[in-house]
């Protein structure tokens, strides 16, 4: 009854309609697998090609070190060390005194050479006066010979008439011959003296060989005196100074201590020969020193060595043997570093990484 009443009293609510979602097409795994495989290979190939094209411009070298001009302080004279006015690690400037030897023996040699030079000048002036005296002696003897000649002529006329004895005639003859020989000897001595003066009786003694030899001895003595003091050849830092102490004997050409330049500093890189294809002098370089990881220097390729590093080794490789193995060689490259005020100090031997910009751009043609 209630069911009929409900039907008669009003219509029953309609059931809700369910809308079906659109069905997306599903790609099977079998069809997706080759797409993913080929796409991955293609992505790797494209990425590799892009990396290859853009990666040929820079050459990264980690086999590089800071180099600096260095010199072993030594002198070519021997002596007792008088003083060492510098200490280890001190910054010195060009021309500053580094070491002094006792100058006494060299000062004595200079004084002796000066005295010898003065003596040579006096002797040469005396030789010039001696030559003039010899010329006067020659003139006097020539006059004597003329007198003897006239006397002998008179004796020859008188001996025929009996005016003089034969003995007097012979004495006049022998006197003329003797004076003639003496005149010849004086002429020879005068010519020898003139040859000593270089053929010029008014010669400047400062141009004569004897004077030049004496002057050379004085110059050598003064050079040795100057070399008894060692000066800094350039601005730098001295090292191992304590190996030389005042009072010790320092032989000629014996190494005293070292000096390392603070101005003449560069980087020497040793890239593989296969990395130098596009590297040339003038290429820009970025220099990173291991000691200062937060600082970078700019630089420039200054030169490329004409030989590999092994060419000047003590035992170079012998590649003519039967069991030869090819080894990639390394070519030294010198890099000039642009240093600015306030930059950290670069010390010889520091490890460096150098990144050379060759400015070379690869193209797709290089692949074929």
Q: Indicate the number of domains in the chain.
A: 2
Check whether residue 270 and residue 167 sit in a common domain.
no
Check whether residue 154 and residue 216 sit in a common domain.
yes
% of the chain surpassing 70 pLDDT: 83
- Cα dihedral 205, 206, 212, 216 sign: positive
pLDDT digits (tens, 9 = 90+) for 145-172: 898 888 888 888 777 777 778 888 788 8
Of the candidates 234, 343, 242, 232, the residue with the CA atom closest to the CA atom of residue 298 = 343
DSSP 222-251: HHHHHHTEEE-SSSEEEE-GGG--TT-EE-
Check whether residue 153 and residue 210 sit in a common domain.
yes
Check whether residue 302 and residue 200 sit in a common domain.
no
Check whether residue 116 and residue 218 sit in a common domain.
yes
Q: With a threshold of 0.85, does the pTM exceed it?
A: no
* Domain end (from 171, 204, 227): 227
Q: What is the pLDDT of residue 17?
A: 58
Of the candidates 143, 22, 92, 129, the residue with the CA atom closest to the CA atom of residue 262 = 92
Helix (H, G, I), strand (E, B) or coil at 304: strand
Structure tokens given for 333: 């490259």
Check whether residue 121 and residue 221 sit in a common domain.
yes
Check whether residue 119 and residue 208 sit in a common domain.
yes
Q: How far apart are CA 109 and CA 114, in angstroms?
A: 9
Check whether residue 280 and residue 180 sit in a common domain.
no
* Domain end (from 179, 208, 227): 227
Q: Are 55 and 219 in contact (CB under 8 A)?
A: no
Q: How far apart are CA 258 and CA 238, in angstroms?
A: 6
Please, which residues have CB within 8 angstroms of residue 4's CB and are 6 or more apart in sequence?
Answer: none
Structure tokens given for 56: 């040929």
Q: How far apart are CA 303 and CA 282, in angstroms?
A: 8
Q: Are 269 and 332 in contact (CB under 8 A)?
A: yes
Residue 351 inside a domain? The answer is yes
Residue 158 inside a domain? The answer is yes
Residue 82 inside a domain? The answer is no
Residue 287 inside a domain? The answer is yes
* Domain end (from 200, 227, 254): 227
Check whether residue 209 and residue 126 sit in a common domain.
yes
Check whether residue 121 and residue 197 sit in a common domain.
yes
Residue 150 inside a domain? The answer is yes
Structure tokens given for 186: 């004086």
Residue 46 inside a domain? The answer is no
Check whether residue 130 and residue 200 sit in a common domain.
yes
pLDDT digits (tens, 9 = 90+) for 82-107: 999 999 999 999 999 999 999 999 99
Instruction: Domain of residue 284: give its range.
Output: 58-68+262-314+324-362
Check whether residue 269 and residue 171 sit in a common domain.
no
Q: How far apart are CA 170 and CA 186, in angstroms?
A: 24
Residue 64 inside a domain? The answer is yes
User: Per residue of the chain (368 residues), what is the pLDDT tens digit?
Assistant: 444 444 444 455 555 555 554 545 555 666 666 766 777 788 887 777 676 666 668 889 999 999 999 999 999 999 999 999 999 999 999 999 999 999 999 999 999 999 999 999 998 889 889 888 989 989 998 998 898 888 888 888 777 777 778 888 788 889 889 989 999 999 999 899 888 888 888 888 888 888 999 999 999 999 999 999 999 999 999 999 999 999 999 999 899 999 999 889 999 999 999 889 889 999 999 999 999 999 999 999 999 999 887 776 666 666 666 666 778 889 999 999 999 999 999 999 999 999 999 988 776 666 55
CATH code of the domain containing 309: 2.40.30.170
CATH code of the domain containing 199: 1.20.58
Residue 242 inside a domain? The answer is no
DSSP 95-116: T-EEEEE--HHHHHHHHHHHHH
Cα three-residue angle 314-312-70, rounded to 5 degrees: 95
> What is the chain's alpha carbon radius of gyration, rounded to the nearest angstrom?
51
């Amino acid at each position: 009854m209630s069911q009929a009443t409900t039907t008669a009293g009003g219509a029953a609510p309609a059931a809700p309609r369910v809308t079906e979602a659109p069905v997306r097409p599903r790609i099977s795994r079998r069809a997706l697998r080759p797409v993913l495989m080929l796409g991955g290979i293609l992505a790797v190939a494209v990425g590799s090609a892009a990396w290859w094209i853009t990666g040929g411009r820079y050459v990264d070298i980690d086999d590089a070190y800071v180099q600096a001009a260095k010199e072993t302080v030594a002198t070519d004279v021997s002596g007792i060390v008088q003083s060492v006015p510098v200490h280890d690690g001190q910054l010195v400037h060009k021309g500053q005194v580094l070491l002094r030897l006792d100058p006494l023996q060299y000062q004595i040699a200079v004084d002796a050479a000066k005295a010898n030079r003065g003596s040579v000048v006096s002797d040469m002036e005396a030789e010039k006066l001696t030559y003039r005296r010899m010329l006067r002696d020659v003139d006097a003897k020539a006059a004597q010979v003329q007198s003897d000649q006239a006397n002998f002529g008179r004796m020859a006329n008188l001996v025929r008439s009996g005016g003089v004895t034969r003995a007097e005639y012979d004495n006049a003859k022998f006197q003329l011959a003797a004076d003639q020989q003496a005149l010849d000897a004086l002429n020879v001595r005068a010519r020898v003296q003139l040859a000593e003066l270089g053929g010029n009786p008014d010669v400047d003694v400062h141009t004569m060989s004897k004077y030049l030899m004496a002057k050379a001895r004085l110059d050598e003595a003064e050079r040795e005196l100057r070399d008894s003091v060692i000066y800094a050849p350039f601005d730098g830092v001295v090292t191992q100074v304590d190996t030389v102490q005042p009072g010790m004997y320092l032989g000629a050409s014996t190494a005293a201590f070292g000096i390392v330049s603070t101005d003449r500093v560069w980087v020497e890189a040793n890239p593989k020969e296969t990395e130098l294809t596009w590297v040339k002098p003038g290429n820009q370089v970025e220099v990173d020193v291991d000691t200062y990881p937060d600082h970078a220097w700019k630089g420039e390729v200054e030169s490329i060595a004409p030989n590999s590093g092994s060419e000047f080794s003590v035992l170079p490789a012998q590649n003519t043997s039967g069991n030869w193995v090819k080894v990639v060689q390394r070519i030294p490259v010198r890099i000039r570093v642009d240093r600015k005020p306030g930059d950290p100090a670069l010390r010889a031997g520091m490890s460096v990484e150098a990144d050379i910009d060759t400015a070379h751009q690869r193209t797709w043609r290089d692949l074929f």
